[in-house]
Amino acid sequence: MIEESSLRNARALIRSGTEKLSSVSNVPRLEAEVLLSNLLEISPIKFHTNEINVSPTVLDKFEAMIESRFKGVPVAYLVGKKEFWSLEFDVNPSVLVPRPETELLIENAIGILGNHESPKILELGTGSGVISIVLSKELRDPIITAVDISNEALMIAKDNARKHEIKDIKFMESDWFDEIENEKFDLIISNPPYVDKAKLSNEELFGIDMEPDVALYSTNNGTDDLKTIIKNSTSYIKNRGWLLLEHGYDQAKYCMKKMEKAGYKKVENCKDIQNISRTTFGMFQHD
Ligand code: GLN
């Protein structure tokens, strides 16, 4: 009896959730608080300022969420959303959970296009749509086409565009450039699949194995999709237009070499917040 009533107290629930998640997460308390505050639709601050008791239904749901998280399901899938560029985006298991390092790609794009009026942009593999939606907010009247091979992903991307009141991104189902006709862009941007699945340890696979393979993995040390994009991009880039790619920690040299071979000039890498070479970009000049 006593135990049951104390378990319904929010702080006690968070304590038990934190304990359970401590073997699978570096931030178990934060995750337990995020999960419970999401169920209760309150700010996590309230757990510290108010005495909160939860109903048996919420208790059951919370315990089920903690169990799923314990098995590796990312918090973002459990709450159905993720923050990126200080904005909230919907996510589900048909899209990659947006990563903080991808904000670097946005910073690079803003640096490259600056005040360019109405730049034409193609995003390859848009997933939840975060890159195109943020660019649409940050740039001057960009004209954006965003493609993905997954129709389920495009549905989430369109929902996110609606949520942020972005009406002018053209979303298309396409395997990289396959459905793009005779168009040329000022910027082609992509965070493609670049992970070599064989190189991941069981520990590294934990959680990531709940995300779509098609968004994460590529063959040949993770480079095959980067290669396809670099090779075909030159037919879709305006004179003095740019290609901007996110890639793995050990793929900067590969991307530089391939881009230079394809005819890109001013090819550069950029490091992410963890000091890992994470993006490569260059300008294409037609002869
Ligand atoms: N950065 C992601 C990771 O390492 C991978 C994203 C991607 O393949 N595009 O988990």
CATH number of the domain where residue 266 is located: 3.40.50.150
Host domain of residue 110? 92-284
118 in the same domain as 250: yes
100 in the same domain as 177: yes
Ligand 1: which of 97, 99, 104, 277 to mutate, most ligand atoms within 8 Å of CB?
99
Average pLDDT over every residue of 187-195: 98
Q: Is 190 in the pocket of ligand 1 (CB under 6 A)?
A: no
176 in the same domain as 214: yes
CATH number of the domain where residue 16 is located: 1.10.8.10
175 in the same domain as 43: no
- Assigned domain for 145 exists: yes
Give the pLDDT band (50/70/90) at residue 7. low
43 in the same domain as 112: no
Average pLDDT over every residue of 66-92: 98
Residue nearest to atom 6 of ligand 1 (CA): 216
111 in the same domain as 49: no
Whole-prediction pTM value? 0.94
- Assigned domain for 150 exists: yes
The mean predicted confidence, pLDDT, of the chain is 95
- pLDDT value at position 249? 96
- Assigned domain for 83 exists: no
Q: What is the pLDDT of residues 93-127, one digit of tens each?
A: 999 999 999 999 999 999 999 889 999 999 999 99
Q: Report the C-alpha gap between 19 and 23 in whole angstroms.
A: 8
Q: Is 119 in the pocket of ligand 1 (CB under 6 A)?
A: no
- Assigned domain for 84 exists: no
Q: Which of 139, 113, 230, 240 is nearest to 176 (CA)?
A: 230
120 in the same domain as 12: no
Q: Is 195 in the pocket of ligand 1 (CB under 6 A)?
A: yes
Average pLDDT over every residue of 221-248: 98
Q: Is 191 in the pocket of ligand 1 (CB under 6 A)?
A: yes
> How many Å lie between the centroid of ligand 1 and the Cα of residue 193?
7
- Assigned domain for 86 exists: no
99 in the same domain as 48: no
174 in the same domain as 116: yes
155 in the same domain as 275: yes
pLDDT at 6 over 90: no
103 in the same domain as 66: no
122 in the same domain as 63: no
- Assigned domain for 217 exists: yes
Task: Please tell me the total count of domains within the chain.
Answer: 2
Q: Is 229 in the pocket of ligand 1 (CB under 6 A)?
A: no
- Assigned domain for 237 exists: yes
